[in-house]
Amino acid sequence: MSREPRSYRALKDGCEITPLWGTVQVAEYGPESRYDFTITETLPVAFVRMRFAGRILATLEEIAANFHDDILRLRPIANVAAISRELWLRSKHGTWRFFRIENAGLIELGRDGRPLGV
């Protein structure tokens, strides 16, 4: 994934989704930023990294491989029940996919923040 500045359009669009999940606090952008924003006032508190996905319909394995560096940036955040480390992907057409980063891999989330297929 490129190291270009975050897309403010994607950030704005992402923030429009989050009222369903909680209150957004945008993180200060910098080369050492681990996440783009947090979603608070709900449990779990989410630390979210957003990225553009050229191929949004990829498998979990392909997502894990394509966004390996972003996942590694989120891993140092504590993996406890009250905290969720998340990767949000957006396509050029505005389609979103959401993933929770667990120690054993990725879990896809629905638009409401709950795991899919549960």
Could you give the CA distance from residue 25 to residue 36 in angstroms, rounded to a whole number? 9
pLDDT given at position 66: 95
pLDDT given at position 109: 94
pLDDT given at position 112: 81
Delimit the domains of the chain by residue range: 24-109
Could you give the CA distance from residue 22 to residue 17 in angstroms, rounded to a whole number? 10
Give the residue among 36, 33, 37, 8 at the shortest CA–CA distance from 22.
Answer: 37
Q: Which helix (H) or strand (E) holds 73?
A: helix 68-74
pTM of this prediction?
A: 0.81
How much is the average pLDDT of 93-115? 91
Please give the share of the chain, as a percent, with pLDDT higher than 70. Answer: 81
How much is the average pLDDT of 26-49? 81
Could you give the CA distance from residue 26 to residue 32 in angstroms, rounded to a whole number? 15
15-30: pLDDT as tens digits: 666 656 677 777 777 7
Side-chain half-sphere exposure of 74, counting CA atoms within 13 A = 28
